[in-house]
Structure 1
């Protein structure tokens, strides 16, 4: 193979034009890269030398010294020229003289693009005319040559060379060049003077004519309001001294005479703090010449976040302002905030002393009761002077307070009468010399509003209809933040016009209907315990006898609701009304008919439960009849040759068995809950009969002892035992014999449950037959009554006919 360092003159012209163009393009990019890199390096040296020379030449002038002597500038110029020549010789001429053989360029391309797979360098090397001594197939070479030409479409020339060094040099040259350009635009005379002096074309000195005056320090006014547009406060130096609060960020202001003096391009502040820190900062020129003066400001270090006292000097051109003293004084600090609270009168005990009910130090998240009188006691590290306080309430209202404090006076106090809204408090303390804190102190007091009472009313053993002589058992839960003042339950007849109005507005919810409570209503006061629970009874018969209620007749409607009030007296009274129960007044016969319909619905529920229990029994019996397979142990699995498919089938069958057992357990639980619900419903039905005074001994015996109590015994007895047996089956599934034995017991227990439920159902069917007989009797009575009424009307008509 040819030496990679050989020239390109020996390359074969039979190389594909696309490959030749690719190699030549890469060679051109490399040489362009060399030129750009060398030029950037030379420019960087020249610009760096320019700025370094400018600093060395003009810096001493700013410090009150002299310019660089010509010999020093000549030395700098020689160093720069030597460095430029060295860079040009090494980075430009030396690199451009190096040959770039085709196979080296091809190898570089192969390294960057491995997808070429060596085809490019093979084609370049084997296509040379002077290539001898190689043994290769011409057809294979042509194929490699063709594939290389086809694959160059994937080559991205921009990825071959790394431009990171170029970018690094450009990042150095660009700021320097930009600064030089800005310098040229801003001050062409100064730029030309600097260039001519550094190139030894001129020895003209820098101008020195400036007159500076100290103006003072501007401090932003710290206020407790949220107004950020307040003007700053100018504090002048007195006898070259000034006092500023620590932590402040002031602006040092000077001015330079402009009429018969030269305005400095830049003014520099030199400072020396008491802790030994030294430094300097350039001042910023602001605005134009006004009244013959140019203003300069320093709004950064060392006055930004002042922490130490210091001595400052300002220099501009050949003028200077020396030994101005800035004293850093600690600002006033609020060390403690005490909160004294006096609760509103309705929350205080009678005869309590007229003093604070709560005293505490302020802490984040402090919340006070609505209507309290609040006193904030501010304690600071130094005596306070005219300070500023702003109260901003949640309602958007703001109040500004000014206070005056004496050296020997009590701590500053902020009084908030009738605290109703959450309040944000901003305080800016100032000492007797006017030094203020550099940020307002913020406090926030939340409010605990007195909420309305919560009332819940429940009528135990009462449905949607009652008889005119019913008893209404009341169960009330009334809760309030600070206790219930009054609680009563009211029964009021709904007048006919009210009933029509409510029926014409069906969109109103029950608790949105506000029935009128008039003199014909009956109310019962209720006392509650510590948990807010209270019980009582309203007897409609006694209320009608006492005259508190008019005599109720079937067809009327009554409303029952509870009302609670607390002791709140700061505004509208807090009164809460519970959900309104609307009860229809019916005859005892009508009520019994309604209850009989409920019995019929319960019988349907029981029949459904019986069917589900029968299905449960059938499932258990099916599992018992099929039997349970013994789960294979690890030893059995090792000693047998059961296939993986058979093992999977056994595992799947075992999972199906477990799933069915779990389903039977869920069904048993459901049956238990359903039977318990039926028993509870029957108990409510009996209570409703008792409360409506339509009960009888034999009815209680038929429903209670014949249906309700047996259901409860079934749930507590065989059904509970059945659930435990099902759990035992699931637990012993791995033991086939034990699982089969448990399943047999469960089937027997399920049979027992079915027998007992069937007996209860037959009892309910007997009750249904009895109720049907009662319905027939009631219908005969009604028919007889209607016949008697018709007979009386006919007799009356005949008597009237005799007088015609």
Structure 2
């Protein structure tokens, strides 16, 4: 401010008044600007904070409100510094103020500025007339009453700011009066950065995501697991299908008709899905669920928001993580002790699991599962083929990436189901299935064959036999047993299962066993000598009408349960006298003679067929079969074709008949071999009898089969190859007829030999009958004599 001068008091008052008005103007203008900024920011912030709420969105985040508050504070400070403090600190000289007045009042004619400037006490060097200055001073003082200081100011800025501030201020006052809580919440959220939400019509609450529990037990239907959001985040395994669950408050809020889920995936895909309303209001809440996309078959992380009416649950993050997986399964097997070599301590089998893997019964099995992440308490269930289930635990190593499943005494086919679960509770979305089959240790198989022994033997016979015993892992012991048998009394319940149609037999305690040694293929052979065993006391003396049973027994080293003892087919041998055995053999010999007679008849028919081919010739076969009239009625081509077919058919039939005859004679010779062996094994015949059967019947039959009959078969085969060459075929047919005649002659000679033996056998039968009759007569005589002696004492 200028120092006091000799200026007229009225002029001084005018200048001072103008200075005060200017400073007041600056203060009002600055305050209006500050008010405009604050009120504008208030309503803008309120709109940005509460407007989305009305549209179903969420409030401004704290960071955005803090930024807005800092912008407003910065603007207010800038206005205060520049518009208020800066302008108030600027000097307002008297001459500048006088100039302002002069500009608005041209009628002063510059007298006011002249008076103010020349009246300054510090002014020097001016050349003017004091009288003139006094005169101007008086004129100015006289004209000052007409000066209007308000004309100096421009009221447009004040008016514009007032027009902005007034409605904003009135609206703020109205909001304060109408809803003090809303005004206080707005002020608190915008200035104090309070997180108290705006009231809404609807009130939604996030419950979480229900995820099905994957269980290793097929029959268990476990309830789903509810996973809550922690800090608006949760983790779900990829491939899972969860159910999003929220609830809406129903007591003091409006329940939305529908709630919508908005989601955004990691790759930027956006979408929305409506939630289903579930049931009725329970405990004051209405439930909503979403069990479809995007949570069905989750493949990537998502961010979701849920909107219902004006409430919104925003920015919930679902992280899709790779579930734990079993990357490798190793199987280690230790066989049972009876299958292992002594001193072995390592595993007998170590292999990677593969479908169809089968393990030996009784083994100790260790499954080593390698996972991609460390595992915690995983779900493991064993299910055998019998339906029994067992839940077991994994045995982890230090880093929990390799876990073992131990199965002791593996005895049944087992399905292993594993659901790996990591330390955060994330589990695989499907069980890992492994199936191990079992190779059961089967009981040995044993087959017994008696050599040269029929169904009846003499008490002094020897019984040769052959045994074949096989087992999965080798036979431990093998023996053949002969046990005596007696006829069971009628009504006994312990009759043997080998009873015949007319008698049942039971085993006695007397038996003899022959331990055997077998080769690598399980073959063994030996014999049981009834005469030697009876003489040594191992068997009681055998008598006719008794019987013995012969069977083989084999067992293996199986020690996991009931021993594997296998018995072969049981052969029941009737004990007979040598005479009765010979009678049985003679009846069999009679049957062989009948077979030989039939074979001779068939050979004779073969000879006739070959003779027909030879006599009629290969060119006239058709005429010989169909007659001259029928042959003449056929065309030449049909005659030739039919002739070839008939000729080929007859030659083929002849070849088949020759083969059949050879096989039949071979069978008869083999049966005669059996008869001879039975005679030898039963010690019932002399060398001359065996010589008659062997040299007289068996050997000639073998010679016929290997000699002329083989030649006949060869000739018939050659005849078939020459059927299209009539001349050569006719010559070969002639040779075959001669060979067939030779076969017939030799077979007839053998048959006559068998008839001679039959006559000899009939004589023996007559002698045997006489001996039996004599024996019977002697016994009856002794009885009669004894009776007479007893009658003498009566």
Taking structure 2 as the reference length, what is the TM-score of the superposition? 0.69
d(CA) in 2 for partners of 1:358, 1:212: 61
Asked if residue 660 in structure 1 is aligned to residue 656 in structure 2, the reply is: no
Question: What corresponds to 1:535 in structure 2?
Answer: 525
Alignment of 1:616-655 (within 5 A): 616-629=606-619, 645-655=635-645
Please tell me whether the aligned partners of residues 245 and 437 of structure 1 are also in contact (alpha carbons under 8 angstroms): yes
CA deviation digits over 1:669-689, x for unaligned, max 9?
A: 111111000000000100111
> In structure 1, which of residues 574, 587, 591 is the aligned counterpart of residue 577 of structure 2?
587
Asked if residue 364 in structure 1 is aligned to residue 362 in structure 2, the reply is: no
d(CA) in 1 for partners of 2:332, 2:726: 77
Q: How far does residue 404 in structure 1 lie from its aligned partner after superposition?
A: 6.7
Please tell me whether the aligned partners of residues 386 and 405 of structure 1 are also in contact (alpha carbons under 8 angstroms): no
Question: What corresponds to 2:248 in structure 1?
Answer: 256
d(CA) in 2 for partners of 1:404, 1:751: 88
Question: What corresponds to 1:288 in structure 2?
Answer: 280
Alignment of 1:187-586 (within 5 A): 210-349=202-341, 351-403=342-394, 405=396, 407-408=398-399, 411-497=402-488, 516=507, 518=509, 520-586=510-576
Q: How far does residue 796 in structure 1 lie from its aligned partner after superposition?
A: 6.6
Cα pair distance change 1:410/1:440, threshold 3 Å: closer
Segments of 5+ residues of structure 2 without an aligned counterpart are 1-51, 58-199, 623-631
- SS across alignment from 1:672: helix
Please tell me whether the aligned partners of residues 631 and 736 of structure 1 are also in contact (alpha carbons under 8 angstroms): no
Please tell me whether the aligned partners of residues 630 and 735 of structure 1 are also in contact (alpha carbons under 8 angstroms): no
Q: How far does residue 737 in structure 1 lie from its aligned partner after superposition?
A: 2.0
Taking structure 1 as the reference length, what is the TM-score of the superposition? 0.69
Question: What corresponds to 2:134 in structure 1?
Answer: none
d(CA) in 2 for partners of 1:256, 1:515: 88
Cα pair distance change 1:501/1:710, threshold 3 Å: farther
Q: How far does residue 630 in structure 1 lie from its aligned partner after superposition?
A: 8.5
Please tell me whether the aligned partners of residues 630 and 734 of structure 1 are also in contact (alpha carbons under 8 angstroms): no
CA deviation digits over 1:422-470, x for unaligned, max 9?
A: 2221111111111111111111222222222211111100011111111
Alignment of 1:39-54 (within 5 A): none
Q: How far does residue 211 in structure 1 lie from its aligned partner after superposition?
A: 3.8
Cα pair distance change 1:793/1:272, threshold 3 Å: closer
- SS across alignment from 2:488: helix
d(CA) in 2 for partners of 1:598, 1:388: 74
Question: What corresponds to 2:604 in structure 1?
Answer: 614
d(CA) in 2 for partners of 1:418, 1:514: 43
Please tell me whether the aligned partners of residues 260 and 307 of structure 2 are also in contact (alpha carbons under 8 angstroms): yes
Q: How far does residue 408 in structure 1 lie from its aligned partner after superposition?
A: 3.2
Cα pair distance change 1:398/1:456, threshold 3 Å: same
Q: How far does residue 285 in structure 1 lie from its aligned partner after superposition?
A: 2.1
- SS across alignment from 1:294: strand
Please tell me whether the aligned partners of residues 387 and 404 of structure 1 are also in contact (alpha carbons under 8 angstroms): no
- SS across alignment from 1:609: helix
Please tell me whether the aligned partners of residues 217 and 381 of structure 2 are also in contact (alpha carbons under 8 angstroms): yes
Cα pair distance change 1:406/1:602, threshold 3 Å: closer
> In structure 2, which of residues 668, 683, 692 is the aligned counterpart of residue 693 of structure 1?
683
Cα pair distance change 1:63/1:653, threshold 3 Å: farther
Computed over aligned residues only, the root mean square deviation of the Cα atoms, in angstroms, reads 3.0
d(CA) in 2 for partners of 1:769, 1:500: 45
Cα pair distance change 1:441/1:797, threshold 3 Å: closer
Q: How far does residue 317 in structure 1 lie from its aligned partner after superposition?
A: 4.0
Please tell me whether the aligned partners of residues 385 and 406 of structure 1 are also in contact (alpha carbons under 8 angstroms): no
Asked if residue 771 in structure 1 is aligned to residue 761 in structure 2, the reply is: yes
What is the count of residue pairs matched by the alignment? 590
Cα pair distance change 1:216/1:508, threshold 3 Å: farther
Alignment of 1:726-741 (within 5 A): 726-741=716-731
> In structure 2, which of residues 735, 742, 746 is the aligned counterpart of residue 745 of structure 1?
735
Segments of 5+ residues of structure 1 without an aligned counterpart are 1-59, 66-207, 633-641
Cα pair distance change 1:668/1:337, threshold 3 Å: same
Q: How far does residue 214 in structure 1 lie from its aligned partner after superposition?
A: 2.3
Q: Which moved more, 1:403-412 or 1:375-384?
A: 403-412
Q: How far does residue 738 in structure 1 lie from its aligned partner after superposition?
A: 2.4
CA deviation digits over 1:49-86, x for unaligned, max 9?
A: xxxxxxxxxxx999869xxxxxxxxxxxxxxxxxxxxx
- Decide which structure has the larger Cα Rg and report it: 2
d(CA) in 1 for partners of 2:481, 2:236: 73
d(CA) in 1 for partners of 2:683, 2:322: 86
